[in-house]
């Protein structure tokens, strides 16, 4: 097997535990036999502080993933999304909810590997909005699966806990963030007045998390939260860098079907952009226990919190 640790050469994951590794590979072998996968090459293992992934070479590659406790909900979420919105996600071959393992088919070429025009992003964001709208009636169920609850009413508490616990922030940065809190509360209150439902927020939606073959397929839900729908706009628009207004409106268009005025939706998107970094702050804590010998998660949380201070670009 080929082992890829990327830049995380000192990362500690369950893969280093021989008993865990044997158990995981036995489960993988059993599931491959059940779905009739014939391997055609060596397995490739990708170790990161937030996941263990094994790529199985076959006529159509197959992917094993192990999640840390902080995102242990992902296999159960994947299975339920395949039932609720099968046109938008992969259907896993198998999941082990108790051990946070999953086995999934390959979704084809990634969005990062194809030409990406403004029209491409318009279509993608519109389809993603449709996924979110379909899931809005299932938020209690998703939270019951373990998806973190980051609904508007929860965000001030999430902010408080993150700022208080973080050891990377300087005293000056912490003071600035504390002064921001009343405004953050006001953003939450105003955003709630528009009546946009909470739903599933991928929280890390970019070109590496979308398959782009016959249709757009969204995957890698380990950073997900249940939050205000529009918080999802932060990451893709930051990554795209241009055409923010155009792409924002493409995403907002499906929500006008619910009777919302576009001007109100634009204001709501502006507020959600300001609050979006809290989703990123929450996701940075989802690492394997003792995964790294430096405070990688703490630093990521601090960076996300400081993003609350940046002006919205929409």
Q: How far apart are CA 95 and CA 223, in angstroms?
A: 18
> Is 2 strand, coil or helix?
strand
Asked if 55 contacts 47 with a C-beta cutoff of 8 angstroms, the reply is: no
Side by side, the strands of the sheet bearing 198-201 are: 149-150, 225-228, 198-201
> Is 111 strand, coil or helix?
helix
Asked if 32 contacts 25 with a C-beta cutoff of 8 angstroms, the reply is: no
> Is 45 strand, coil or helix?
strand
Q: Using the Cα atoms of residue 154, residue 160, residue 164 and residue 169 in order, give the sign of their dihedral.
A: positive
Name the token pair of 147: 């998806």
**Which residues of the chain carry a pLDDT beneath 50?**
none
Q: Is the pTM of this model over 0.85?
A: yes
Q: How far apart are CA 20 and CA 82, in angstroms?
A: 28
**Which domains are seen in the chain, by residue range?**
2-105 (3.30.200), 111-308 (3.90.1200.10)
Q: What is the pLDDT of residue 82?
A: 98
């Amino acid at each position: 097997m080929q082992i890829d640790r990327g830049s995380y050469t000192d990362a500690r994951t369950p893969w280093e535990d021989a008993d865990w590794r044997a158990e995981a590979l036995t489960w993988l072998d059993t599931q491959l036999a059940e779905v009739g996968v014939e391997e055609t090459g060596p397995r490739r293992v990708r170790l990161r502080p937030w996941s263990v992934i094994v790529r199985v070479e076959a006529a159509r590659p197959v992917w094993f993933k192990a999640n840390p406790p902080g995102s242990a909900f992902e296999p159960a979420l994947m299975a339920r999304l395949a039932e609720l919105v099968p046109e938008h996600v992969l259907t896993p071959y198998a999941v082990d909810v108790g051990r946070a393992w999953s086995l999934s088919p390959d979704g084809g070429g990634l969005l990062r590997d194809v030409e990406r025009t403004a029209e491409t992003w318009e279509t993608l964001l519109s389809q993603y909005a449709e996924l979110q709208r379909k899931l809005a009636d299932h938020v209690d169920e998703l939270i019951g699966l373990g998806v973190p609850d980051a609904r508007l009413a929860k965000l001030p508490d999430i902010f408080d806990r993150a700022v208080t616990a973080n050891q990377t922030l300087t005293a000056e940065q912490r003071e600035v963030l504390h002064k921001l809190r009343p405004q953050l509360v006001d953003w939450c209150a105003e955003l709630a007045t528009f009546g946009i439902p909470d739903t599933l927020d991928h929280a890390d939606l970019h070109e590496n998390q979308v398959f782009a073959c016959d249709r757009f397929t969204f995957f890698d839900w380990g950073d997900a939260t249940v939050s205000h729908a529009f918080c999802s706009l932060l990451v893709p628009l930051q990554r795209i860098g241009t055409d923010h207004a155009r792409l924002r409106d493409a995403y907002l268009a499906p929500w006008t079907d619910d009777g919302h005025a576009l001007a109100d939706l634009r204001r709501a998107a502006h507020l959600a952009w300001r609050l979006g970094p809290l989703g990123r702050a929450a996701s940075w804590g989802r690492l394997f226990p003792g995964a790294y010998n430096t405070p990688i998660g703490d630093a990521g949380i601090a960076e996300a919190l400081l993003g609350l201070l940046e002006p919205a670009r929409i």
